[in-house]
């Protein structure tokens, strides 16, 4: 059984319970194996007098059929209590629909179950928005949503018993002070461990139990195989899986955007868009879209024809990058931990930056424009803060220059709040530019 790790989403679920008092259901959406079911069941045990968890991956045909006819809710509740040998108490119990995408009629029933008002309802699911899971039902408006991600860096540190580091780093950043190089080296070594293990709870649990990277790698490969199996169920041609598997290669090329037509030939624009939407809906990736007009309302200038795609969990990315090997060699893990990561694998830091920003609640955008006839400037990430924007340039080693960032800030000077170079060295300032260690990125 997986360890029950402390997760930030718990407090969000608790806020939903306190604010809604049964007026809506809660849907927790995210990729498979990120810990949705585990945290929801832990919440139900602690915050309710009783609960029933219906796992639609395993539920019988009779359980599924209950939601085909909602005329007699009393019968449905009596049957569930009998089948799961659990007594439900009015306004003190919760019913969990686990992997609800496997039973669309149960999701549609939420409207009437919430209106009935006797119990609370929490749904968990992956591939929630895939067409086949929604085309025959009415999506309930009585459904609040939370997006869940793999364990973020602070949650990972909690799992290792470290509750002090991130609050201390937050104080340091807020104080506008610089950092000692020796302290930075220690923090970077801690971060590189997170890059290797990742934030999938099963992988973290395996690391804590064995401290063996080969064993951790085996867990991650099982998760990746599960993802590829899911992709095949969505698209029997295997094209979505090919797009996902090509992410490390595409990032390593440093071409500035994801070119799906270089991976899959002979697919029309409409079909390719459907494949990319399905990949995004799987929640296994983080997608950054190009903005045509970088300002506060970034979504209004979103260009969905130009995107960069990152693996949702950097630990999985490390394994995926070496998918053709039986397992990712320990020598690679050793090099990363000892800060001897090969320069041509620096794209892993960019993937990590995307993950840290996304799990902190940010949507991802980038901006590129012509430098001359043959070269482009590019700002890796743009954040909307207050009435302005914060541009971010990511570097995988010590910085030498930040030409693109400087050009961007000159071009859009009236729109800039703070400007960052995210890198692997200690916290510093270079004029108006904040040189930010990557482990602090989620704090901005």
Q: 314 with 359, same domain? A: yes
CA 243 to chain centre: 18
Mean pLDDT value across residues 43-61: 97
Write out the two tokens for 54: 């219906």
164 and 228 belong to one structural domain? yes
Q: Which residue has the higher pLDDT, 356 or 135?
A: 356
- Domain count of the chain? 2
CA atoms of 254 and 274, how far apart (whole Å): 25
Greatest mean pLDDT range, 174-183, 195-204, 394-403: 195-204
| Residue 253 resides in a domain | yes
Domain boundary among 108, 128, 147: 147
Half-sphere exposure of 298 (CA within 13 A, CB side): 23
Same domain, 136 and 168: no
- Measured from the Cβ of residue 383, the count of other Cβ atoms closer than 10 Å reads 20
The pLDDT value given to residue 340: 67
Choice among 170-184, 246-260, 304-318 with the minimum mean pLDDT: 246-260
Task: Say how far apart CA 416 and CA 419 lie, in whole Å.
Answer: 7
Residue 2 domain flag: no
| Domain that includes residue 216, residue range | 153-443
Look at residue 252 in the predicted model and tell me its pLDDT: 87
Look at residue 257 in the predicted model and tell me its pLDDT.
86
Handedness of CA 209, 210, 212, 216 (dihedral sign): negative
Report residue 159 as tokens: 């799992």
173 shares a domain with 124? no
Q: How confident is the model at residue 327 (pLDDT cuts 50, 70, 90)?
A: low
Please write the tens of the pLDDT for every residue from 2-17.
578 999 999 999 999 9
In this structure, the answer to whether residues 117 and 187 fall within a common structural domain is no
Give the SS3 label for residue 206.
helix
What confidence category does residue 132 fall into, taking pLDDT thresholds of 50, 70 and 90?
A: low
Query: Could you read off the pLDDT of 64-76 as tens digits, one per residue?
Result: 999 999 999 999 9
Give the model confidence (pLDDT) of 360-388 as tens digits. Answer: 999 999 999 999 888 899 999 999 998 99
Are 179 and 114 in the same domain? Answer: no
**Domain assignment present for 355:** yes
DSSP assignment string, 292-304: SS-SS-GGGGEEE
For position 41, what pLDDT does the model report?
Answer: 98
Q: Do β-strands 120-125 and 428-430 pair in parallel, antiparallel, or remain unpaired?
A: unpaired
**β-bridge pairing 93-98 and 120-125:** parallel
Same domain? For 177 and 50 the reply is no
- Same domain flag for 134 and 187: no
Please check whether residues 160 and 296 belong to one and the same domain: yes
On whether residue 4 sits in a domain, the answer given is: no
Does residue 198 carry a pLDDT above 90?
yes
Q: Which of 279, 416, 257, 286 is nearest to 362 (CA)?
A: 286
Residues 341 and 300 in one domain: yes
Query: Per residue in 249-308, pLDDT tens?
Result: 999 887 778 999 999 998 999 999 999 999 999 999 999 999 999 998 999 999 999 999
Count other C-beta atoms under 10 Å from residue 391's C-beta: 26
Q: What is the pLDDT of residue 1?
A: 41
> Looking at the structure, do residues 112 and 161 belong to the same domain, yes or no?
no
Band of pLDDT at residue 439, cut at 50, 70 and 90: very high
Q: What's the distance, CA 427 to chain centroid? A: 26
Residue 1 lies in a domain: no
Between 256 and 356, residue with greater pLDDT? 356
How far is residue 289 from each of residues 66, 298, 336, measured CA to CA in Å? 42, 10, 29
pTM (whole model) above 0.85: yes
Instruction: Please give the average per-residue pLDDT across 178-191, as a whole number.
Output: 93
In a domain? residue 141: yes
Is 194 strand, coil or helix? Answer: helix
Residue 285 belongs to some domain of the structure:
yes
CB-count exposure of residue 252 (10 Å: 0-12, 13-18, 19+):
middle
The last residue of a domain, from among 113, 147, 181: 147
Residue 73 and residue 41 in contact, taking contact as beta carbons nearer than 8 Å: no
**SS3 assignment, position 282:** coil
| Helix pair angle (181-197, 213-234), 10° resolution | 50
Q: Judge whether residue 390 has pLDDT over 60.
A: yes
Residues 49 and 83 in one domain: yes
Q: Kindly tell me the sign of the dihedral angle through the C-alpha atoms of 355, 356, 357, 359.
A: positive
CATH number of the domain encompassing residue 108: 3.40.50.300
How many C-beta atoms surround the C-beta of residue 131 within 10 A?
A: 11
Q: Which of 124, 147, 170 is the last residue of a domain?
A: 147
Q: pLDDT tens digits, residue range 16-41? A: 999 999 999 999 999 999 999 999 99
């Amino acid at each position: 059984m997986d360890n029950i790790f402390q997760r930030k989403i718990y407090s969000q679920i608790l806020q939903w319970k306190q604010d809604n008092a049964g007026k809506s259901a809660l849907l927790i959406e995210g990729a498979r194996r990120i810990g949705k079911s585990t945290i929801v069941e832990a919440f139900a045990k602690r915050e309710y007098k009783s609960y029933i968890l219906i796992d639609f991956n395993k539920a019988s045909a009779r359980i599924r059929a209950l939601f085909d006819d909602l005329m007699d809710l009393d019968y449905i509740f009596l049957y569930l209590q009998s089948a799961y040998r659990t007594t439900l108490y009015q306004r003190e119990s919760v019913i969990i629909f686990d992997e609800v995408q496997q039973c669309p009629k149960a999701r549609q029933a939420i409207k009437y179950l919430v209106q009935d008002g006797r119990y609370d309802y929490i749904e968990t699911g992956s591939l929630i928005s895939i067409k086949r899971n929604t085309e025959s039902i009415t999506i309930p408006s009585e459904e609040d949503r939370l997006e869940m991600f793999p364990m973020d860096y602070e949650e990972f540190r909690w799992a290792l018993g470290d509750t002090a580091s991130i609050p201390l780093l937050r104080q340091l950043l807020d104080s506008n002070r610089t950092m000692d190089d020796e302290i930075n080296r220690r923090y970077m070594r801690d971060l590189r461990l997170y890059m290797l293990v990742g934030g999938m709870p099963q992988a973290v649990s395996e690391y804590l139990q064995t401290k063996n990277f080969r064993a951790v790698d085996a867990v991650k490969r099982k998760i990746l195989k599960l993802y590829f199996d899911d992709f095949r169920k969505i698209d029997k041609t295997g094209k979505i899986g090919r797009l996902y598997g090509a992410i490390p290669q595409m990032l390593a090329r440093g071409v500035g955007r994801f070119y799906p037509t270089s991976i899959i030939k002979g697919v029309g624009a409409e079909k390719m868009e459907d494949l990319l939407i399905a990949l995004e809906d799987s929640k296994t990736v983080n997608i950054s879209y190009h903005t045509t007009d970088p300002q506060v309302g970034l979504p209004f200038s979103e260009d969905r024809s130009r995107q960069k795609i990152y693996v949702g969990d950097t630990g999985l990315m490390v394994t995926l990058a070496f998918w053709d090997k039986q397992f990712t060699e320990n020598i690679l893990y050793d090099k990363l931990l000892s800060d001897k990561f090969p320069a041509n694998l620096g794209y892993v830091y960019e993937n990590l930056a995307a993950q840290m920003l996304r799990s902190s609640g940010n949507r991802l955008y980038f901006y590129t424009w012509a430098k001359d006839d043959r070269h482009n400037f590019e700002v890796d990430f743009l954040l909307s803060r207050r009435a302005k924007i914060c541009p971010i340039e990511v570097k995988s080693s010590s910085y030498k220059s930040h030409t693109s960032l400087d050009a961007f800030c000159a071009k859009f000077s009236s729109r800039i709040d703070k400007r960052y170079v995210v890198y692997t060295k200690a916290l510093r300032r270079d004029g108006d530019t904040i040189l930010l260690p990557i482990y602090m990125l989620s704090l901005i």
